[in-house]
Chains A and B, each alone.
Chain A
Amino acid sequence: MNDIQKSREEIDDYLQTIHAIVGFINFFIYDPDTKKKKDDVVVFQGRRFVPSLEKSINQKGEKVNYVTPDICILLPSKNGILGEVKKSFPRDQEKWFKTFKQMQSYDDDLTGWPSIDEKVNFHDIVLLLHQSRGAAVREFFENHKGKEICIERPFTIVEFNRSDEGKGYFFFRTALGRISEQTIDNILKYGKQVPMNIFITSYSTIKIYDDEPPLPYLMQLIWENVVSSKASESVRFEKLRRNQKIDVDIKIDNIIDVLYQCFSFRILYSKGKESVRQPKIPKREWIMNACQKFVDLKEAEWCEQGKTSIKFFFRQYKDVLSHFIELCADEDQEYMQPKLFKDQESQ
């Protein structure tokens, strides 16, 4: 697989993870009887929870300020669900303990739920993973539970799979454990196919979650939704030729704000439920990385040393995503080439 194909697969994995989160949340927020959204279920993505005193120091003796599960659902019964999504698992099973450590950190009397006292009566813990890894991860958990892995709260592994036959749907099924919410458990026990077409507006409005997106994809999001939009305010925009450019000055805060407001899970949060516990996604460091890449690729330059704003050289590309995938791949090749020779010299 070449760098371009690899990059495209990473982007597809990233989007698949978002689609799986949206699909899983749907089981809790939509009422199958009325076919309407339930107003009394609150969902969040990447919310910060404060651990209890007992778990506020990790095994290395370091202070843990907060944990941030991928999925947080608060039901009207004041019961909750915390979930983590993993599209891929590393080959080396030793590294899987890291994921389960994360799951163990959610097995705690956490503070930060979107309730008045920021607590719940009890909560489930769900590991949402790709079906290709479902059996192996379940076996791994069963082999190590009660020993290296201790989770006391109800723990469930739910596997998902995007159908690559026919028109798209996601399949969800419980691979291990039971979900305490009976109706959802009944649905997931035997597996459920969810057609993708019912989530088109969510998929089109949620394009980032609290994991760093592949660089070319993040660059495309910035270019199409921030840079193009700002460039279109210029009188030259409409008549711009393909070999011409428009300089566009944009503040980093502005890029973060546009992507957060328009393309993060914020869109699913109930009005007025945004809180300080909700980290602003995308993270500043991701945007700084992407902007530095724009500068390295001569698509932009920093406006000042402090790097608080950036001047983009807007041009009309026929396929923005391919443009940045190819540029990033080319740059990686250039970076690899001297390294390769260096290795050969040292042999």
Chain B
Amino acid sequence: MIVQKVENDQIASKFDFITPFINEYHNEKSLINGLDSLLSIHDINVKAIPFSCDKPPVEWFPIISGRSRKIKILKKYDGIQLFQMTCFFKEGKDHKEKSGLFFVYNHPEYKRTYVALTIEPSDFFRRAMLPFFFGHFPHIMMTFITHKRLKRLLENFQEENQFSKIIITRASPKCRISEEGKNEKIFPLQMWPKMQIEEAFNWVYQNNGWFQSLHFEAKKLSVVMEGSITREGIIQTNRKFSSVFKSFISPVCKLIYENIEFFDHRSRRESQNLSAKALTIDFDTDQFTEVSENKRFIQSLKQLNKASISVLHGNPYIHLSIVDYYDGSSFDLWVLNSNQVVIVPQMKSSIFSIKRLVNHIFDTYAEGDINDYKEVFT
């Protein structure tokens, strides 16, 4: 393996495979295969950001260039676009700029779902690309991967590729820690556990937390590839891009698409007779058995930034009125069962806002399954 890598590095140093790859015509298949080939020759990483966008990136990204950032379309193919992003920043007294390329892959199966792909160095990715994608919420939406789903993704990846082991080499878990008499706090941690999937996930579950990101290596006889995945679905890999695309990127795109479909058209404005289309978060266990739990839940909701949380009732049941100051979406939230939260979207309710609220509950309180609310009459 090491010998192979040295040989590849020698070939890569003699030949530039990246420039022709960038310049050649791409379709969805050639882009994935091309990246796969590049990784087997060059010592580089592919970084992928699966996202959804309320307007097609090809039309919108160049328009939202600002003073600190310029985005240009270099190439436009069917379903693939190549962009150049230049960021302007100050380092001390010096004005500097950083430029890099990225592809946007329009997922052929999942509408309004895209993947930004780059092989630029981490510095460009962290300083230019990520702030751009995170900074344009709620117009650009990534996903959230629950603890259970993240574990399943890793297990499937191991099984599909017949890896003997997947070792979690570095993790950034966040744990919900409550001290007696104080509000619950979320503590970020950094750890290098060298654990296998089951062990690592058990640890974080027992500590009432979740993985914000994790780095892993997949092994057969020796290490085959190294990769990472975040709770928002951002993926990096240094090998086996096609497999990573199939096992991680595509399922994350599917998740984004399913969320869009599920959260869309929930505004009462869009319903006949202005009726409400509520949704539920169902927990595996009875969460709300003690009154103190109501308080804990309300406190965690009140941490939602850029929102108003009004408590109409807090005990024995919970009734909140929520306004999202990102876009004016509003909701009623009810807890009337010990294992269920019901969210009732009001007149305006965007996909982004529902996602933000659900994500916040998952992060700061507990994760559950999202379902349609079923009205059962007695």
Contacts and interface: CB of A to CB of B under 8 A. Distances in A.
Interface of A: 11-12, 15, 26, 30, 32, 35-37, 163-168, 194-198, 200-201, 203-205, 220, 224-225, 228-229, 231-233, 237-238, 240, 258, 261-262, 267, 271, 316-322
B330 A225 contact: yes
Contacts of B138: 238
B121 to A, nearest CB: 31
B336 A197 contact: yes
Contact of B377 (A12, A26, A163, A262): A26
Nearest to A31: B377
B327 A205 contact: no
Nearest to A229: B328
A261 B313 CA distance: 24
B344 A224 contact: no
Interface of B: 138, 268, 273-276, 278, 288, 302, 306-313, 315-317, 319, 321, 323, 325-328, 330, 332, 334-338, 340, 342, 344, 346-348, 373, 375-378
Given A201-B276, A271-B273, 11 more contacts: A30-B378, A167-B338, A197-B334, A204-B276, A205-B268, A237-B327, A262-B346, A320-B308, A321-B311, A321-B312, A322-B311
Contacts of B378: 30, 32, 194-195, 198
Contacts of A320: 308, 310, 321, 323
A200 B376 CA distance: 11
A267 B275 contact: yes
A321 B322 CA distance: 10
A198 B375 contact: yes
B308 A317 contact: yes
B275 A201 contact: yes
A224 B348 contact: no
A204 B332 contact: yes
B184 to A, nearest CB: 18
Contacts of A194: 378
A233 B327 CA distance: 8
Contacts of B278: 200-201, 204
Contact of B274 (A198, A238, A261): A261
Contacts of A164: 315-316
B360 to A, nearest CB: 14
B311 A240 contact: no
A233 B275 CA distance: 23
Nearest to A325: B310
A164 B316 CA distance: 6
A196 B317 contact: yes
Given A205-B268, A228-B330, A200 B306 contact: no
B88 to A, nearest CB: 21
Given A15-B312, A200-B336, A224-B330, A167 B317 contact: yes
B338 A267 contact: no
A30 B330 contact: no
Contact of B317 (A11, A168, A225, A321): A168
A229 B308 CA distance: 13
A318 B315 CA distance: 21
A261 B275 CA distance: 11
Nearest first, the 6 A-B pairs at minimum CB distance are A232-B328, A321-B310, A204-B344, A197-B336, A204-B332, A168-B317
A225 B337 contact: no
Nearest to B376: A198
Most buried by B among A37, A165, A205, A237: A205
Given A11-B312, A200-B342, A319-B310, A267 B273 contact: yes
A168 B308 contact: no
